[in-house]
Structure 1
Amino acid sequence: MKAKHLFYTLFIFLFSLTSCENEANIDYVPTVLFNFEGGTNLVTTPKGIKEYTVKGSITSTAGLTSFVISTANAETGAAISVIESTRQTFDEPKSNYDFSYTITNLSENKAIKISVTDAEGEDFQKNFVVEITPAVIFSEHSDKKLESVDKYWGVFYAEWLYGRIYKSREAGKYAAEVNIGMENKNGKAVLISPAKHSLTFNGARNTKFGVTNMTLEQFNAISRIDDTPLKNLSPTTESIEIENGKVYAYQTQDGQKGVVYIQNLTGNAGSTDDPTVTATIVTKLQAK
């Protein structure tokens, strides 16, 4: 009797496992499918491309009753605003809908969100992201504080990782990336080639500087996808005295040309008490 009871218990246990396994193996077939040309909803454009056309189709088992595209945040994917010209409603539900939309002014990464509703009232969404290949590298934030004395932040600057400030003891680790130095000369704050800085380091690079007539408006107008405004710059000096609100040209050892905007300049290089001058800078440099 005990053996029979054990057999039935084991049978029920094995049947339960089999049932669970079968449930786990059930394939879910989505009722709406977004199909993009190229098979992906994330593309990277070649350098210099200013627009991209998103093409694809949407299939629905219940049939689509509406379609619309919104602009979206390229980082979070959140919808920003509806593009009214893309809005479509269908009196007869569509099992398949082809779409095409051109994203223009690709001066930065951009995204769209495609939203549809089916005949059962269900809503479905899919994002599409276009990443640009920049021709110009920006310092991402306007809070890069370069010093003329190695005190709080540092006297060397590298454009990589959207702009980094290094003290002299750290700069040697990143010698290949550091293109700008700052120090005091004759009671004035100057931008200087890392190789000519009084606190230079092994592997320090040679950079040339020069003045420009560029206004802040012209500086701001330089986009990530067009380095034309930088091509004709011709900096020639190893150091240059700087003033608040001015834009200066520079050229790296590799031949990349760029501009640096002195957003804020504080301190007195001629002070006997504290000659530290701090420059808040923003840079735009040709990509390699």
Structure 2
Amino acid sequence: MITVGGENLIDLVQITEDGGVQEFRALPGGSQYNCASALGRLGTRPHYITPISTDSLGELLADTLEESRVVVTSERVDAPSSLAVVTLQDGQPSYQFYRDGTAERLVSAESLKAAMPAQTRVFQIGSLSLCDGDDADVWAKLFIELAQQGVACTLDPNVRPAFVKDPAAYRSRLEGMMKVASLVKLSDEDLGWLYPDADPETKAAELAAGSQAQLFVLTKGSQGATLITASHRVDVEAAPVSALQDTVGAGDTFMAALIYQFLQSPDFTSETVIRDVGHFAAKAAAINCERVGCNPPSLDEIRI
């Protein structure tokens, strides 16, 4: 069983209608919310443990998760839903977030453990939930405790610099989590911000060597990805995108596809298997980019 923690919010996504009229469409989102949805569409029936608001936007968030075959075990709390205003330039998103005092940040060690299914085999976390505040520390501590208990913990930092108030503390938090993780995905942009004086490829290899992760992945947008294991370093090309809509949720979809493949217990000593894992994730992300917002593909769509 996969359990996902981390932010949920409403994306107000910029849409250009016929005639050039600019509008904003309300779409359920948040990096870890998107990852849970993508895992659900791959048929894994993940559980989601982050609190969701009782407001009307929270109803939309909860209903959409359930439509994607995600089991919501989290609390419903009387606090507003988080918002993200997403503007697009050539399909690339820029974000403004509004999260102070919102439902998804009202977490405690006790509430998360109560929502955590006992059968959890894989735990996924990342992005905004780890940036700052008491909630970031709660999530990081839970991640490390679960890893020490034998749960395969997977991490996608998906760095959001605007929310990092203490870069040194944030970097230290992520490094502690990466050391005990079973699967890590970082983008070249993540590494460029975390370690501005280091070459991303070199730094990824260094971090992988200091981690117990069976698979460490560096994504590079249109330049593809590098998959690192104890015995191999494999480069895969980005999958072709027939008609780009935007890249919202592409990284989250890529991560979900990696976790799906990780669940199949692949032989990471085989270069061919590692390459297949990378191609599967790249294709999933490419399909998502052909749709507006985060709209991950099903398993059948990836396999066509």
> Quick check: TM above 0.5?
no
The normalised TM-score by structure 2 is: 0.24
Q: Give the TM-score normalised by the residue count of structure 1.
A: 0.25
The higher radius of gyration belongs to: 1
Higher strand share: 1
Q: Which has the higher contact order (CA 8 A, sep 6+)?
A: 2
